[in-house]
Homo-oligomer: A and B are copies of this chain.
């Protein structure tokens, strides 16, 4: 028996009892005649006490061999502390030790095991098993577990069935790169790891499962940005015989349930915003609504007054910085313009119009516009005395993107975001297709299985190029605080329409058949109308906790090179393994 209680549960009600605890040595305070040791486990910290008065010399001696992170087992009597602590729930008691066993020793850890730590990222990843002992990290992993429980609770109570779909599937060159797995039994052939269970969940709808979900690992062999992982987790869902509206309501319900259960946050109803409006008003399909600053388009007011930059621009668009926050110095404005001109953003310049408290107006383009004209801009943008307009111009899509970056940066710099504030919204009516100038072909905006809106189907089957560009889909994203948390769509369930979509996406009929023949075939045997959604589970964990890093919520994450530095993977494998798998390593020639 290693323990009668854990290190977080003893209170004065247990005073007088003999108890046994096991855990890690957190701190040792040795006053010579008396020693206090904090013993830690996942549940908390309990103080134990040894003294020359009450303990044998051997016991004191053993205690003095201990170091940080030693694993010990102690038996003793719960006593009331003379000097209580209100910092920990066990602060009213301590254990007067009778026996002490060292269960395992520990070398001095390479960084401090505490809420905060002095360990750098690389060191913490190499010793992730120690980093995971830190209460701040452990809390994140436990939170993730609770979020999964709450998710399953809600979905199961709404008649969803969790079905495991296969991990060893077939490679489909569409979309991101697949990880592949050579088959030993079928030499020269490969499985692929799923980027999502998309086709399988659609087949489950064809099978009549009606409401499916799965919390499931997915895989994408992409060049990793700071916050991407080669393996990631989705809450993957699909429903039959539903409208888009019913899907949104179901998963709005899930989201509210998760916030309530795990954070005790009550979310109101989620606003819905059309994709076109989101782009026009915030320059983004995932607007952060924790602060305002919507875009104001100024083409009608600012063109034709001799300022050639504006005159030649496809779009002139600004945001209004309100009140106190707008008191930028000229130097600060200059620096902001420089920040916008960095290649990452690529703005050509930043125009400002300052509406002074004395009702005068000052602008970096003052020589092209008179005060009345500038005031008309301000009026359109809702600027009041003390506010400032910041204006960009150029090609529409690029300019919106740049202004969106500026808006977000100002939100951060001006601290417009309240901690603990959550602003969810649904972005709806995404385009079906996206024209790629470079490859001169359409890409699926969501994925190739997304249905156009019902009223668009005739256009899709018979339309010209421009019609195709304008097709709208029953596709939607759930956005919280500027992060895309989930996305989904109503799917195509008709073979002819699906074939047409593959054709638009540049598949030959043979390619479509080779890759997705099983799905096209399934559509011929009574496929029901269906649709669904997938949530990024790692991201959801992070957003709920106001964190920007998904890595903090993954027990054993990989670094930006896709390496697990703790276990040192990937790694070479033996010649015998390669031979059995009918493959060889072919390194590209050195130049």
- Chain A residues within CB distance 8 Å of chain B: 1-3, 6, 22, 24, 40-43, 69-71, 73, 103-107, 109, 127-130, 132-133, 138, 141-142, 144-145, 148-149, 152, 156, 161-171, 173, 177-193, 199-200, 203-204, 206-210, 217, 219, 221, 223-224, 230-231, 233, 241-243, 493-494, 517-518, 522-529, 554-556, 558, 561-564, 566-574, 577-588
Contacts and interface: CB of A to CB of B under 8 A. Distances in A.
A191 B142 contact: no
B156 A527 contact: no
Nearest to A217: B167
B526 A209 contact: no
Contacts of A142: 161
A571 to B, nearest CB: 5
A573 B221 contact: no
Contacts of A217: 164, 167, 217
A138 to B, nearest CB: 7
B209 A42 contact: yes
A203 B132 CA distance: 9
A219 B191 CA distance: 13
A168 B203 contact: no
Nearest to A581: B180
A357 to B, nearest CB: 56
26 contacts: A71-B527, A103-B529, A104-B494, A106-B524, A132-B209, A138-B207, A149-B156, A164-B555, A166-B556, A167-B167, A167-B193, A168-B219, A168-B570, A170-B564, A170-B571, A180-B181, A180-B573, A181-B181, A181-B193, A185-B562, A190-B571, A190-B572, A191-B569, A517-B568, A518-B567, A584-B586
A189 B138 contact: no
A63 B306 CA distance: 70
Given A187-B588, A200-B556, A556-B165, A103 B528 contact: yes
Contact of A563 (B127, B186, B518, B568): B186
A576 to B, nearest CB: 8
A562 B183 CA distance: 9
Given A2-B529, A144-B163, A191-B570, 10 more contacts: A1-B243, A2-B241, A2-B243, A42-B208, A129-B525, A181-B193, A186-B570, A188-B572, A583-B586, A584-B586
A524 B130 CA distance: 11
Contacts of A104: 493-494, 523, 526-529
A101 to B, nearest CB: 11
Contacts of A71: 526-529
The 5 closest A-B pairs by CB, nearest first: A106-B526, A132-B207, A170-B569, A2-B241, A189-B570
